[in-house]
């Protein structure tokens, strides 16, 4: 759009610069908001990773601590069984040395009845005999036990033997100093389940295996959660826990399941307590919590993404609207500038027209009033001559000439005053209407003191208006009421306010009389110049007064109207702003 004359050229590029700045600001906002949303998402997933790693480590540490405590409990229980067996064996060795075989056999029966930890007590002699109750041992078992029994003050825990369908663990101890042949040994046979009897009271939800294994790699006793003591085949499977322990730190396993292994050594008996727990079972609760945390983080991330997309869309829409608004504002500014230029141009033209009209009015007034003055002067000069000649008819003619000239002069002055109304600026102040009305009616009463007139002016009437102009309004309305009620005896003139007809910030006033009145339905042009409802012979006047009233009230933003009935009077209403 081309710029107006004298308008700087940079105004034409200002909207484009503003739109560019708006777009750059929107892009910066999207980048910053996207970075904040990405940071929040990364923070959520970083917290998830750190928390799950901590819980994973805590679950493994908890399982390892439990297995270590379990191994300690098994250690204490097994040691109690071993020391019980050692005490019995030492007693048997003392009796065998001091009191002979008969007392030894008797003592074997007594000790077996008194001790429920063992199912068999026997003595394997060096010459191949077996002393004791009905023995589960045969000569081959004794020979194997004699060969495997250590020369020590602690019992030797042998590999289990199956006797009569039962799996028994032999606990042997030499009964004398070593000799050249097979040693005499005391043997106690303990059931496998009694070796790990502490596990009978354990309530474990995960797959846990407990093995009492010798340094030779053979199992002495084994237990597994859910099934209790293991058979020999299951013992071999449990021993895989140790076979899979490698120096490189690889995770041991039983079958296809990785295991968490805790080992406690019993060096005095050349044994180890091995507790193996399924890694999957130990981490089962953690896996469930991790899945829950994963779902929560995923939902939060999706929610943040949704919020970002919604806000980004709203921001794009607001940017689009802001651009449209900026373009509209720019167009409006351009239109306002054009309108201002047109208004200034039209104002100049109007001011020139007012000056031309004023000059024309004064010219017309001078050209009209000068001949009228000459006519009135010549008629005055002729009036004495005609009167001396005794021509009454001619005297009346001269009087009518002078009256018409005077009326024409007054009419010309009123027209000039009406034209000046639109030129004078308004000075809005609080105007005391009650005071002005009383003053104007007092002047009218002074002019006709003997006339019977009842006057009612409401107290405390005020408005926000131009005082001189409002005085003209009341002067015309009250003057008309006084004039048109001249034939009434008594005449009644009222000036007041309609309290029940007030709009916000506006007041409605009225001037009523009981004068001649007129048909208000035929008074559509009453407020136009020279429009009259009565002839000049009935009521003198120029017909400009009500036009002046209408023009003044229009300048104040108000209006005027009337209600009248022939021979019953008239009421004129007008509106003005309430005083501040």
Last residue of a domain, one of 247, 282, 317: 282
Domain-located, residue 245 = yes
% of the chain at pLDDT higher than 90 = 13
Q: What is the pLDDT of residues 409-452, one digit of tens each?
A: 665 665 565 555 555 577 889 999 999 999 999 988 888 888 89
Distance, in Å, from the CA atom of 171 to the CA atom of 284, rounded to the nearest integer, reads 40
Q: What is the pLDDT of residue 5?
A: 44
CATH number of the domain that 439 lies in? 3.30.565.10
Per-residue confidence band for 507, with pLDDT thresholds at 50, 70 and 90? very high
Structural domain contains residue 539: yes
Residue ranges with strand state E in 91-132: 120-124, 130-131
pLDDT in tens, 225-249: 766 555 444 544 454 444 445 444 4
What's the chain's average pLDDT?
79
Whether residue 11 is contained in a domain is answered as no
Domain limit, last residue, from 233, 249, 282 = 282
Peptide bond into 132 cis (omega under 30): no
Cβ atoms within 10 Å, residue 101: 13
Extract the runs of DSSP E, i.e. beta strands, from 347-490: 428-432, 453-457, 462-466
pLDDT band at 363 (very low <50, low <70, confident <90, very high): low
Give residue-wise pLDDT tens across range 54-103: 999 998 898 889 889 888 888 888 888 889 888 988 888 888 888 888 88
16: in domain = no
Instruction: Determine which helix (DSSP H) or strand (DSSP E) holds 512, and give its type and residue range.
Output: strand 506-513
Tell me how many domains the chain contains: 2
Three-class DSSP category at 278: strand
Question: φ and ψ at 459, to 5 degrees?
Answer: -75, 155
Q: What is the DSSP string of 331-354?
A: HHHHHHHHHHHHHHHHHHHHHHHH
Task: Please say whether the beta carbons of 145 and 172 come within 8 A.
Answer: yes
φ, ψ (nearest 5 deg) of residue 510: -145, 150
Q: Which domain holds residue 430?
A: 424-577
Q: Does residue 510 fall inside a structural domain?
A: yes
Which three-class secondary structure state does DSSP give residue 120? strand
Residue-level pLDDT at 222: 81
Q: What does the pLDDT average to over 157-175?
A: 81
In a domain, 120, yes or no: yes
Q: Could you tell me what percent of the chain has a pLDDT over 70?
A: 77
* Highest mean pLDDT pick, 249-253, 464-468, 483-487: 464-468
Q: Does the pLDDT of residue 356 top 90, yes or no?
A: no
Q: Which among 228, 251, 282 is the end of a domain? A: 282
Q: What is the DSSP letter of 251?
A: P
**CATH code at 268?**
3.30.450.20
In a domain, 372, yes or no: no
User: Given a cut of 80, is residue 18 above it in pLDDT?
Assistant: no
Does the pLDDT of residue 187 top 70, yes or no? yes
202 falls within a domain: yes
């Amino acid at each position: 759009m081309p710029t107006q004359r004298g308008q700087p050229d940079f105004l034409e590029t200002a909207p484009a610069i503003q739109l560019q700045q708006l777009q750059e600001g929107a892009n910066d906002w999207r980048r910053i908001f996207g970075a904040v949303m990405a940071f929040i998402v990364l923070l959520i997933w970083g917290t998830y990773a750190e928390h799950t790693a901590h819980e994973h480590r805590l679950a493994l540490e908890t399982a390892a601590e439990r297995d270590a405590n379990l191994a300690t409990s098994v250690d204490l229980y097994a040691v109690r069984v071993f020391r019980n067996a050692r005490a019995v064996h030492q007693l048997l060795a003392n009796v065998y040395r001091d009191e002979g075989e008969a007392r030894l056999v008797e003592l074997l029966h007594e000790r077996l009845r008194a001790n429920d930890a063992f199912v068999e007590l026997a003595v394997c002699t060096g010459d191949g005999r077996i002393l004791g109750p009905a023995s589960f041992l045969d000569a081959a078992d004794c020979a194997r036990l004699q060969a495997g029994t250590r020369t020590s003050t602690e019992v030797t825990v042998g590999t289990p033997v199956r006797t009569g369908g039962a799996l028994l663990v032999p606990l042997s101890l030499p009964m004398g100093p070593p000799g050249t042949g097979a040693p005499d040994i005391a043997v106690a046979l303990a059931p496998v389940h009694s070796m790990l009897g502490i596990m009978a009271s354990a309530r474990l939800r995960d797959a846990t295996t407990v093995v009492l294994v010798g340094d030779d790699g053979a199992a002495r006793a084994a237990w597994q959660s859910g099934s209790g003591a293991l058979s020999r085949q299951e013992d071999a499977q449990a021993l895989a826990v140790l076979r899979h322990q490698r120096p490189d730190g690889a995770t041991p396993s039983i079958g296809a399941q990785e295991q968490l292994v805790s080992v406690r050594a019993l060096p005095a008996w050349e044994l180890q307590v091995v507790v193996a727990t399924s890694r999957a079972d130990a981490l089962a609760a953690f896996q469930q919590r991790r899945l829950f945390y994963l779902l929560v983080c995923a939902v939060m991330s999706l929610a943040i993404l949704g919020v970002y997309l919604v806000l980004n869309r709203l921001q794009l829409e607001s940017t689009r609207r802001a651009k449209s608004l900026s373009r509209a504002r720019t167009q409006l500014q351009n239109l306002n500038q054009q309108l201002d230029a047109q208004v200034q141009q039209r104002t100049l033209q109007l001011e020139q027209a007012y000056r031309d009209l004023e000059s024309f009015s004064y010219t017309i007034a001078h050209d009209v009033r000068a001949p009228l003055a000459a006519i009135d002067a010549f008629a005055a000069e002729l009036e004495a001559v005609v009167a001396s000649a005794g021509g009454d008819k001619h005297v009346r003619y001269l009087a009518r000439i002078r009256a018409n000239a005077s009326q024409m002069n007054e009419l010309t002055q009123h027209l000039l005053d009406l034209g000046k109304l639109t030129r004078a600026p308004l000075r809005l102040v609080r105007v005391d209407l009650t005071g002005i009305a009383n003053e104007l009616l007092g002047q009218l009463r002074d002019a006709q003191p003997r006339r019977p007139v009842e006057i009612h002016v409401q107290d405390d009437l005020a408005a926000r208006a131009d005082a001189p102009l409002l005085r003209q309004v009341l002067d015309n309305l009250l003057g008309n009421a006084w004039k048109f009620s001249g034939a009434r005896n008594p005449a009644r003139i009222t000036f007041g306010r309609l309290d029940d007809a007030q709009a916000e910030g506006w007041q409605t006033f009225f001037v009523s009389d009981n004068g001649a009145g007129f048909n208000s339905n035929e008074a559509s042009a009453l407020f136009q110049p020279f429009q009259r409802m009565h002839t000049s012979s009935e009521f003198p006047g120029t017909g400009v007064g009500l036009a002046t009233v209408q023009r003044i009230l229009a300048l104040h933003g108000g209006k005027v109207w009337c209600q009248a009935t022939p021979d019953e009077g008239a009421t004129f209403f007008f509106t003005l702003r309430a005083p501040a």
